[in-house]
Amino acid sequence: MRLRNVKDSNLIINNSRYIIKDYKKYKGNFKSLFKNDNKINIEIGMGKGDFIIGMAKLFPNINFIGIEKFDSVIARAIQKIDLEDIENVKLIKMDALLIDEVFSKEINLIYLNFSDPWPKKRHSKRRLTSHTFLKKYDNIFEKNNNIWLKTDNKKLFEFSIESLSKYGYTLSNVSLDLHNSDFINNVKTEYEEKFSKRGFTINRLEAYIKE
């Protein structure tokens, strides 16, 4: 989700204790940043932070890393986290294409919330559930592959179901109307909150590959 420019966004990012600046040097050892052995879950394209903040508060014994490439968006997330003073959240400003250059065999779960659908067929490789990205994710999971996806875009959801299934993922808890399902502990993103109020249905699935 894009956002209007946030004043002094670079200053906010550079001075934040939540930002991991030299993130590549922690490859394979991100747990040292949290100073515990708790599992690490990441959200790729975290937007303005509502989801990752909510999850961190709901699950204090899990470490969360939010990934976002837009300065103004991540700056807004930092402002929100500062108000909460949460210890189990870190943020990285980077492009998701670098994901396998940053993490190595240490991630428990990936959240893909309302990712860019890249609707044109020629851009399909840019979708975060394309074969291109699924192959990258193989290198970052600690043990089992686990992906949780939410989107209001039905075509992206259909694409993701096909792509994940072909890659070898097993799908579970598939919902075409999340907010009218029996799923509990759903933490909404800012996008989800906005568009569900307008009557948009939310699609959700969990996908995994076990060793």
Annotated catalytic residues are 116
Residue whose token pair is 């993922």: 169
Q: Which two tokens stand for residue 176?
A: 């075409």
Element containing residue 100 per DSSP (H, E): helix 99-102
Q: Centre a 10 Å sphere on the Cβ of residue 116 and count the other Cβ atoms it contains.
A: 15
Please give the backbone phi and psi of residue 38, each rounded to the nearest 5 degrees, phi first: -65, 155
Taking alpha carbons only, the member of 168, 162, 176 closest to residue 205 is 176
b (16+ CB within 10 A) / e for 121-157: eeebebbbbbeebbebbeebbbeebbbbbbbbbeebb
